[in-house]
Structure 1
Amino acid sequence: MDARLVSEPSRLPQLSRRGLIGGAALGGIAALMPLPAMAAGSEWRLAIRNVHTNETVDAVFARSGQFVASGLAELNHGLRDWRTGEVTQMDRRLLALLVQLREKLDLSGRSKIELISGYRSPHTNAALRARGGAHTGVASTSQHMLGKATDIVVPGVTLDKLRGAALALGGGGVGYYPRDGFVHVDTGRVRHW
């Protein structure tokens, strides 16, 4: 992965104290683990906007090969189940894959990825499965419930191009939902639909 992401971290203004503490606890151990394939002095950041809540996160989650606990906590909070407010520790490989995807699309570190869905609690996942309709493809053991999946859109990038870039990376599952207007990206086994 290219480590061209060098910029100063910012904070999520809407992050609650409770959410930050919970996310920091979940990300605490991860912050001590080294991040492979990262150049010394470089930073990895993600900028995300939740389309349902309009909340934004712009956080550095790794610096010089080490995870940054505060950045992980902000991203865990930003990628939470927006329906229930439940937060989980998101897969760090997913965060790295989203950075890699943004780089593949030749976008800056501050380019926002629009989030349709990140973490889904078991309750939310079951409700979406029961509702059917546009959600008939919701898996009973969804990667979303494991903190390993996102449904995303990138402003200014067609869904076809986003899908192609995700497939080219080969980092996990890629789902294409042109009718619903998003691409699913996860760190499960490599597959596509």
Structure 2
Amino acid sequence: MRRRTLFLAATLASVPGLALAATRRSRPAGPEPRRITLRHAANGNRFSGIYHNGIAPDAAAMADISEVLADTRTGAIRAFDPAAIDILWDLGARQRMTEFLILSGYRTPATNAAVHGAGDSQHLRAAALDIQVAPARLPDFVETALRLRRGGVGSYPQQGFVHIDSGPVRNWGGDGTLLAAARAPVRVDPRVERMNRMAEAWASTRRR
């Protein structure tokens, strides 16, 4: 396992910004490090620690996370997308959640087909997470994820989990419908509307 971790660390170090982070790990000051705790429900594998130094992801930590989020049927590992972990970290900070129980991370094509995943699922590129969320917290968790507008958000209240990914911005409910929070009209600050009207009036005088 140690050899596999070292290989992943070398692979992730080639990602822009990751190698730089590794050299800066021991330097004081600067942006606040990002810490996250993940536990995979299927095998109990766990990561808890700093995965990002505030400037860029840490290659060794991301290699460990990639092992934790490996395909559960085959054990296959793919370097996990740091952007997806960043989204989860941001959600945790906003929801005051310190630990996440992961139901699904990376999936091989065979595993994805076995669980009837979408043919273009972000799980296939190690960029998606299915997170178990307590029923009482799930609606607020989903709404917060939607308002981030960073990737995909899927809500599965009957199954008790939320899907997030770092792919295109989109959303769906367990029945395939657009989520209510995303359909809600955007409230514009009256002051902003007033400034927009003033700008349009000024622009119209320039066009005359």
TM-score by length of 1: 0.77
Deviation digits for residues 85-119 of structure 1 (CA, Å, limit 9, x no counterpart): 11111111111111111011023xxx211100011
Structure 2 SS opposite 1:66: coil
* Structure 1 residue aligned with 2:48: 58
Q: Is 1:77 the counterpart of 2:62 in the alignment?
A: no
Question: Which of 45, 48, 55 does residue 35 from structure 2 map onto?
Answer: 45
Say whether the 8 Å CA contact 1:59–1:74 is kept in structure 2: no
Report which structure shows greater RCO (CA 8 Å, sep ≥6): 1
Q: Write the letter of the residue equivalent to 2:8.
A: G
For the residues of structure 2 that align with 1:82 and 1:51, how far apart are their CA atoms?
A: 10
Question: Against the structure 1 CA distance between its residues 157 and 101, is the aligned structure 2 distance closer, same or farther, given a 3 Å change threshold?
Answer: farther
Length, aligned pairs only: 163
1:54 and 1:156, CA in 2 relative to 1: closer, same or farther beyond 3 A? farther
Q: Report the alpha carbon displacement of residue 66 of structure 1 after superposing the two structures with TM.
A: 3.0
Deviation string 1:118-151 (CA, Å, 9 cap, x unpaired) is 111111112222xxxxxxxx20111000111100
Q: 1:161 to 1:19 in 2, by over 3 A?
A: farther
CA RMSD of aligned residues (A): 1.9
Gaps of 5+ in 1: 1-15, 130-137
SS of the equivalent of 1:67 reads: coil
Higher Cα radius of gyration: 2
Q: Which has the higher helix share?
A: 2
Give the gaps of 5 or more residues in structure 2. Answer: 22-28, 173-208
Match of 2:86 among 96, 99, 118: 96
Equivalent residue for 1:180?
A: 159
> What is the CA distance between 1:64 and its match in structure 2?
4.2
1:60-105, Cα deviation, whole Å (9 max, x unpaired): 1211413211111111111111111111111111111111110110
CA contact (8 A) 1:59 1:75 kept: no
Larger CA deviation: 148-157 vs 82-91 = 148-157
In the alignment, the residues of structure 2 paired with residue 95 and residue 142 of structure 1 have an alpha-carbon distance, to the nearest angstrom, of 17
Distance of 2:34 and 2:165 partners within structure 1:
18
Give the share of equivalent positions with the same residue, in percent: 33
Q: Which one is further off, 67-76 or 23-32?
A: 23-32
Runs of 4+ in 1 over 3 A off after TM superposition: 154-157
